[in-house]
Amino acid sequence: MYNPKSHKAEEFISHKEVLETLEYAEQNKNNTQLIDEIIAKAKEEKGLTHREASVLLACDIPEKNEEIFKLAKKIKQNYYGNRIVLFAPLYLSNYCVNGCVYCPYHKKNTHIPRKKLTQDEIRREVEALQDMGHKRLAIEAGEDPVNNPIEYILESINTIYSVKHKNGAIRRVNVNIAATTVENYKKLHDAGIGTYILFQETYNKESYEKLHPTGPKHDYAYHTEAMDRAMQGGIDDVGLGVLFGLESYKYEFAAILMHAEHLEAAFGVGPHTISVPRIRRADDIDPDVFDNGIDDDTFAKIVACIRIAVPYTGMIVSTRESQECREKVLDLGISQVSGGSKTSVGGYFQPMPEKEDSAQFDVSDRRPLDEVIKWLINLGYIPSFCTACYRKGRTGERFMEICKHEQIHNFCHPNALMTLKEYLEDYASPETKAAGEKLINEELINFDNEKLKGDLEEKLTQIHQGERDFRY
Ligand code: SF4
Ligand code: SF4
């Protein structure tokens, strides 16, 4: 029944295979010999299977866990260096016909104001985001064929790309909308989107159906097979995610890796990113009613084990998590964070008083983007606004090839420095600017490719003189 190459959800996410994996992991969680073998394989930095990674996740031998964390940090360093890419979510509409019990936008919630941005309002939001310094957005909209049809999403993407405010530009629009048809994915592809992101929420079919009692999202297979349709529609960068807290985290962990293996087996290219959101409080939603919540230590272990299992897949943590928690997982494998986020419709141009707010979830990390940038710099990271890959045609298989050979660093590093320089010139506070300039100089001193260094220094000078949008 379990078949990673199949396009049927119940075959590539076989419930039986997940249960057997969990049993195997439980039986071997103290098997030092096996754990050592898995760690040795992981040290080759080519990834692990869902079964192997599940054993590491279950392992409760403190010294082995230390090794796992150390290895995750090393892999993070080798693949991603000290760069962290920044993005912001942009909520277009909170109209939704689904009944997801963990989301305040569910159809029956009458407490929140429903809102859908007009194209003019989108322009205002994008200008506000550009004034913060953002270059990369993830657009979000509820599922509603009447209020948010695909034409509305496409028009909105077009509007976002068209706004050029001062030196600002949104250079990559990632899209997080409901599962749709191959035809609609083709349209999204043609509109020039970056990554198509769709959270599975939970891979456990029985729980999935209970958590999504009404609306089109109730259909487990249609939702789970969405990435296959997206790839058939020509989108080759897709982003997976589960909402930790809904189901047992070990189940989700094994299944999301099976999903990644499926994409690799069926299309030759794994997921571009994996997101690791945890359920948060929101209007009409009490996270305490879900009894699968995970503590910060478990969360860190999940991040470390995903990093080891799929080294070349980016990992995203949002402002759902507190500054403290984000700090803890950055060096374990996170490659992208959101910053200065508003999770309500229209929240950037006109932040709402809290009681009128229609946020999808409570934001834990409420710091403005400039503070997030300064914080990252002070921690020794290079905040990056890079969007080069898809604009250079480095997507899908081509991107994965470069990643798997650990060569992406040669692009990411100079691009990070150039986009940080743009940020410092255009948006940074004096304090952040000083810290950022110091960081760029230090990075240049240690730059090991002399030829590239010369070219990069020239481009940094040109950015200072007012030119924008260089990329490798
Ligand atoms: Fe709608 Fe998405 Fe919220 Fe479900 S999670 S109610 S589909 S907005
Ligand atoms: Fe991402 Fe590509 Fe830029 Fe690296 S070079 S940060 S992989 S867009």
> For a pLDDT cut of 90, what percent of the chain falls above it?
88
pLDDT tops 80 at residue 362: no
Q: Is the pLDDT of residue 181 over 70?
A: yes
Structure confidence at residue 355 (pLDDT): 52
- Alpha carbons 100 and 223: distance in angstroms, whole number: 13
pLDDT of residue 356: 52
**In which band, very low, low, confident or very high, does the pLDDT at 363 lie, cut at 50, 70 and 90?**
confident
Mean pLDDT of 2-16: 98
Ligand with smallest separation from the Cα of 393: 2
Ligand 1 centroid–CA 97 distance in Å is: 8
Rounded distance from Cα 132 to ligand 1 centre (Å): 27
The ligand minimizing its distance to the Cα of 178 is 1
Cα gap 413→396, rounded to integer Å:
20
Strands 382-384 and 336-338: unpaired
Instruction: Please determine, for residue 354, whether its predicted confidence score (pLDDT) is greater than 60.
Output: no
Q: What is the pLDDT of residues 205-248, one digit of tens each?
A: 999 999 999 999 999 999 999 999 999 999 999 999 999 999 99
Predicted local distance difference test score (pLDDT) of residue 353: 64
Give the nearest ligand 1 atom to 142 CA. Answer: 8
With a CB cutoff of 8 Å and minimum separation 6, the contacts of 404 are 46, 312
Q: pLDDT digit string (tens) for 39-54? A: 999 999 999 999 999 9
Nearest CA to ligand 1 atom 2: 142
In whole angstroms, give the CA distance from residue 276 to residue 145: 28
For residue 149, pLDDT over 80 is answered with: yes
Pocket test for ligand 2, best of 402, 413, 415 (most atoms within 8 A of CB): 415
Please state the rounded mean pLDDT for residues 257-273.
97
Judging by beta carbons within 10 Å of its beta carbon (0-12, 13-18, 19+), is residue 113 exposed, middle or buried? exposed
Of the listed ligands, the closest to the CA of 213 is: 1
pLDDT averaged over every residue in the chain? 95
Cα 58 to averaged position of ligand 2 atoms, centre (Å):
32
pLDDT of 385: 98
**Residue whose CA is at the smallest distance from ligand 2 atom 5:** 412
- The stretch 343-371 carries a mean pLDDT of 82
* 408 Cβ below 6 A of ligand 2: yes
Considering Cα of 108, then 113, then 119, then 122, what sign does the dihedral take? negative
Distance (Å, rounded) from C-alpha 69 to C-alpha 428?
34
What pLDDT does residue 396 have?
A: 86
Cα separation, 121 vs 227, whole angstroms: 30
Residues 430-452 pLDDT 10s: 999 999 999 999 999 999 889 99
Residue 389 Cα to ligand 2 middle (Å): 5
Count of C-beta atoms within a 10 Å radius of residue 6? 18
Q: Which atom of ligand 2 is nearest to the CA of 472?
A: 5
Cα 121 to averaged position of ligand 1 atoms, centre (Å): 22
The number of the ligand nearest the C-alpha atom of 386 reads: 2
